[in-house]
Amino acid sequence: MKEVMAIIRMNKMNETKQALAEAGINSLCAKDCLGRGKGTVKIPQHIEGAVERYADVIRELGLSGRLVPKRMINVIVPDELVKTTVNTIISVNKTGRSGDGKIFVMPVLESWRVRTGESGDEVLDRVCP
């Protein structure tokens, strides 16, 4: 059993939920979060003095600590559904631009369903594609 944690753009949430549901993955948790990646600033070399001006911009970006609103999705799936889950999230969220997000996969050691006392993979929803 694994936890797939994805940090995506806010405006991609509904499309991501729909794609996961179509892949048979209906159970998930989501919350708003703030974050930032390393980001990149391209320095145009053909403009005189550009390096010095953009060095100031880079310095300012690095020190500002500006956080961008994102959405964090957590999905717990059996091991055999990890690739499907990850590929589905990537297919919806990949634009090729900075800020598309990140996906992390972590092991889940134990789980219980509170209502019935079931444990292990039994607590996971059955996949219904």
What is the residue range of 81's domain?
A: 2-123
**What pLDDT is recorded for position 37?**
80
Confidence of residue 125 (pLDDT cuts 50, 70, 90): confident
Q: What is the reported pTM?
A: 0.77
Residue 128 lies in a domain: no
In a domain, 75, yes or no: yes
Residue 107 lies in a domain: yes
Task: Provide the CATH number for the domain around residue 75.
Answer: 3.30.70.120
- Per DSSP, the residues of 6-59 read EEE-GGGHHHHHHHHHHTT----EEEEEEE---------TTSTTHHHHHHHHHH
Q: Per-residue pLDDT tens for 35-68?
A: 888 765 455 555 555 555 555 555 555 555 678 8
Asked if residue 23 belongs to a domain, the reply is yes
Q: For residue range 3-40, list pLDDT tens digits in order.
A: 999 999 999 999 999 999 999 999 999 999 998 887 65
Amino acid at 90: I
CA atoms within 13 A on the CB side of 77: 23
Question: How many structural domains are present in the chain?
Answer: 1
47 assigned to some structural domain = yes
The string of pLDDT tens digits covering residues 68-91 is: 899 999 999 999 999 999 999 999
Q: Is residue 129 part of a domain?
A: no
